[in-house]
Amino acid sequence: MASTSNDRSNSQETLVDDTQFQFRFSDDNPVNTTIRGPDGRVLYRVNTSFSDGTVTQVERNDGEPIAALHWSDMGFDKIAVGTDKPVRMGKLLHSGAFFSETVSFKDSLGRKYEWKGNRPGLTLQLYALDTPGSPIAAFTKSRPDTSTGRRSTAYLTVLGRGQEILDLVVWSFCFLEKQRRNADGGFGLGLSGSTMTQNYQG
């Protein structure tokens, strides 16, 4: 299901809430979390270290590297995909015009995708531009569950084409959500050390 290949404004349209397409986060924190597949197995681990700069690693459960984000205090984050050398984030994830809420990328077959909602207060949704219509991936935040008194877990719903490029969907989401939350006040990033300090409440 997973692939290591590279890959419109925000819509209120949401994906079908079907558990067979949900990839759940152990913590609603895009830089420190574990991601489980629809069958409950751990598929990805996302960890941020501070020993040699600030680096967020996305790995498969067996430790295989998917991508790493090298944070910059100046806003010039770099991404290393797999074992490649880090390159400027903008070389892989292309932001729209000034004040745009979209970020685009291509997969290894040259197909183009676009994340919408890349602004404070919005929610990220991914579209395949050659098959416009419903999103192929969308994030659902952690929320209070009134029936249990607990918080529901955050999850990505990933359909069809999105599952063909799952690695790319996961790391691009985590890295963009990190930037989006930074712009929204840093909620849920847990930056005071190597562990999460709070859940995102937005």
Average pLDDT in the 169-179 region? 96
CA 86 to chain centre: 18
What tens digit of pLDDT does each residue of 150-164 get?
Answer: 888 999 999 999 999
How confident is the model at residue 78, as a pLDDT?
A: 96
Average pLDDT in the 14-39 region? 85
Average pLDDT in the 93-122 region? 93
How confident is the model at residue 19, as a pLDDT?
A: 67
Which tops the pLDDT comparison, 140 or 52?
140
The pair of structure tokens assigned to 60 is 């498969």
How confident is the model at residue 149, as a pLDDT?
A: 79
In degrees and rounded to multiples of 5, residue 54 shows phi and psi of -105, 115
The burial of 61, by beta-carbon neighbours within 10 Å (0-12 exposed, 13-18 middle, 19 or more buried), is given as: middle
In degrees and rounded to multiples of 5, residue 48 shows phi and psi of -115, 130
How confident is the model at residue 157, as a pLDDT?
A: 96
Model confidence at 110, in pLDDT bands (50, 70, 90)?
A: very high
Which helix (DSSP H) or strand (DSSP E) does residue 190 occupy?
none
Closest CA to 151 of 16, 19, 15, 27: 27
In degrees and rounded to multiples of 5, residue 5 shows phi and psi of -70, 150
How confident is the model at residue 118, as a pLDDT?
A: 93
How confident is the model at residue 171, as a pLDDT?
A: 98
Mean pLDDT for all residues in the chain: 84
DSSP codes joined into one string, 95-145: E-STT---EEEE-TT--EEEEE--STT---EEEETTS-SS-SEEEE---EE
How confident is the model at residue 117, as a pLDDT?
A: 95
How confident is the model at residue 112, as a pLDDT?
A: 97
Distance (Å, whole) CA 34 – CA 42: 7
Least confident of 103-112, 139-148, 154-163: 139-148
Distance (Å, whole) CA 25 – CA 45: 10
What tens digit of pLDDT does each residue of 72-102 get?
Answer: 887 789 999 999 999 999 999 999 887 889 9
Distance (Å, whole) CA 22 – CA 130: 23
Distance (Å, whole) CA 68 – CA 84: 10
Q: SS3 helix, strand, coil % of the chain, rounded to 5? A: 15, 30, 55
Which helix (DSSP H) or strand (DSSP E) does residue 173 occupy?
helix 166-183
